[in-house]
Structure 1
Amino acid sequence: MKPHHLTISPNSTRSFTAKREILPDINSWWHYHEEIELIYFKKGSGTQFVGDNIRNFKSGDVVLVGSNLPHYWQFSERDKESEIEVYVVHFNKNFWGKDFLYLPENLEISRVIEKSKRGIQIEDNFDNCLTKSIIQVIESQGPKKIINLIEVLLEISKCMKAQILVSLGFRANFQESERDRMQAIYNYTLKNYSQKISLDKIANEAKMSRTSFCKFFKLRTGKTYSEFVNEIRIGNACKMLIEKRMTVKEICFESGFLNFSSFHQCFKEITGQTPLKYQKSYN
């Protein structure tokens, strides 16, 4: 998928943007921007794409996405039909002055911004100091707005359950021709992951030979295409397990797996849990 460069509209009365969103189709494509993005999903769930990482997101999750790191949140069909509640902050690394992050007192803030280049996710945040501070960034005015953002970054820096999302080998600086190929690959995969996708078919979508495609995809993403597809399938399965509208076996086939054994093995490899144990953890 080709990441589109998104320009965050400047505002002469604000040094950074902070807003509350209730529509699930805001910036609903793979994009990137120079500003660092902080997002808190108070209400909403679906599948997230950050760099080469694919996983489900849900209410209570907080994500910090670094400058020019491609990302995209695809809300579930259920959420597309209802109102969501998401808090989003965009800020330039040096909006507070180019020397601010080099002050010795700001070492922890500097470190968390550096880590954000690979994306940071913190799950299951409900009415804690982190989420309250994020909401205050949006609602406050004047110097308090900046102070609250600093508080958020400090909370993230000391959070023990923060997860790094993107692999070390991920390349965000694709050439234009590579972006077009990645766009074709992502688009086709997202539409057809619930079916069997042959290497010949996806290579044809990318306008490459099968051998060239395998080398290209592994070099650009750090993973094989089958690993990539399985991550999407398991991300979809996680979402359906939480929703509890189908049995585990039904979810297995709905997600694109041809047998329960391979689904069970793949699910455990990616999540570290069996499907049933994962589902029970959300009871």
Structure 2
Amino acid sequence: MKSALRKTIESQVRSFTVQELREPHFDPNWHFHPHYQLFTVMEGTGTRFIGDSITPFEPGDTVFLGPNVPHLWRSDAWYFEEGANLTTHGIVLYFQEDFLGKEFFDRPEMHPIGQLLEESKRGIQYVGTARQRIRTELQELLHLDGLQRILRLLALLDELAHSVEGAPITSYGYVNTHKVSETERMQKVHDYVMQNFRQEIRLTEVASLAGMSEAAFCRYFKTRANKTFTDFVSEIRIGQSCKLLLEDKWSISQIAYESGFDTLSNFNRHFKRITGQTPREYKKAYTIPV
């Protein structure tokens, strides 16, 4: 596995970068970079980690991230299986704040976009028509060049700056406290939990994996992730259960055990605490009648 790192994405011939990603699975490494990032999932499912937020993702997931916000779109386990013959597809746009000059976004006319850039430091998730506009524009930008390319990006940013269909992703006041030298340690923890959340996870084993005592690891993790390790594991499990509920293949009790909970009551308690709904309420709210 590649080491987690601080990514740098530069183009030698263009002011900003737009890439189409088609791979058997999305990049499994927890990382951050000094660029703003606009990303949409066209194909693929899994769990999305952004700062201190953990949530399932599916086609349509569309976010705008500010610089150095740690993130990871972790494809579901079956994307990594040998012979799976599955594909993920996404479109991503990267730019730095000074791609049009150091003071461009400080000008009065750029104030709404400047405010958008500030809000993106918590990450912004888009829904509705704004999400569809982003997806359409990213597809168009793949094929544009020259001045028209820059004008289209500015128009899109201005549109998003006035949109009411974006919501913050990370908790209020979230700040990236990860150091480049420490991201590999967090990557090991992420990978271990994703591979083992269906069974009992012993704090002793995880702390040993991180090269720490249990007490030191608990302090370290809460500082870096803005939540306890126990809450982190619970959110991973609830994210898995949300997907299974919408698939409508198993009973709620089966889903509870498949997601790593030892009792149905424990599952229901954690589900209500994290989602604000019971499993049945969640399923009813997100299932579209046929």
TM-score, length of structure 2 as denominator length: 0.87
| Residue 240 of structure 1: aligned partner | 244
Does structure 2 conserve the Cα–Cα contact (< 8 Å) formed by 1:60 and 1:126? no
Give SS of 2:38's match.
Answer: strand
List aligned pairs for 1:69-84, cutoff 5 A: 69-77=69-77, 81-84=85-88
8 Å CA contact 1:169, 1:221 repeated in 2: no
- Comparing 159-168 with 97-106, which one deviates more in the overlay? 159-168
* Aligned equivalents of 1:177, 1:21: Cα separation in 2: 27
Q: CA deviation at 1:168?
A: 4.3
User: In the alignment, which residue of structure 2 is the partner of 1:151?
Assistant: 155
Q: Distance in 1 between matches of 2:184 and 2:131?
A: 41
Q: Does 1:282 align with 2:283?
A: no
Cross-structure match for 1:37: 37
Deviations 1:74-108 (A, max 9, x none): 12245664333321111111101112101111111
Match of 1:8 in 2: 9
Q: 2:132, 2:188 → 1: CA distance?
A: 40
State how far apart, in whole Å, the 1-side matches of 2:158 and 2:107 are. Answer: 15
Distance 1:146 1:235 in 2: 38
Aligned mates of 1:125, 1:239 — CA distance in 2: 24
Cα distance in 1, alignment partners of residues 271 and 200 from structure 2: 17
Q: Distance in 2 between matches of 1:177 and 1:42?
A: 32
| Per-residue CA distance 1:89-143 (angstroms, 9 max, x = gap) | 1111110111210111111111111111121112456983333223222232222
Q: Runs of at least 4 residues of structure 1 off by over 4 A?
A: 77-80, 124-127, 168-171
How many percent of aligned residue pairs carry the same amino acid? 35
Equivalent position of 1:255 in the other structure: 259
RMSD of aligned Cα (Å): 2.5
1:166 aligns with 2:170: yes
> What residue in structure 2 maps to residue 98 of structure 1?
102
Q: 1:231 to 1:67 in 2, by over 3 A?
A: same
Gapped runs of 5+ residues in structure 2? Answer: none
Could you tell me which runs of 5 or more consecutive residues in structure 1 were left unpaired when the two chains were aligned: none
- SS of 1:22's equivalent in the other structure is strand
CA distance change for structure 1 residues 213 and 129 in 2, over 3 Å: closer, same or farther? closer
Structure 1 residues 260-279: aligned runs within 5 Å: 260-279=264-283
Match of 1:198 in 2: 202
Pair 1:87-2:95 in alignment: no
- Kindly indicate whether residue 49 of structure 2 is the aligned counterpart of residue 49 of structure 1: yes
Does the 8 Å CA contact 1:136/1:148 hold for their aligned counterparts? no
What's the secondary structure of 1:90's corresponding residue?
strand
Amino acid at match of 1:23: E
Question: Is 1:21 paired with 2:21?
Answer: yes
Q: C-alpha distance in 2, partners of 1:169/1:184?
A: 26
By how many angstroms is 1:170 displaced?
4.2
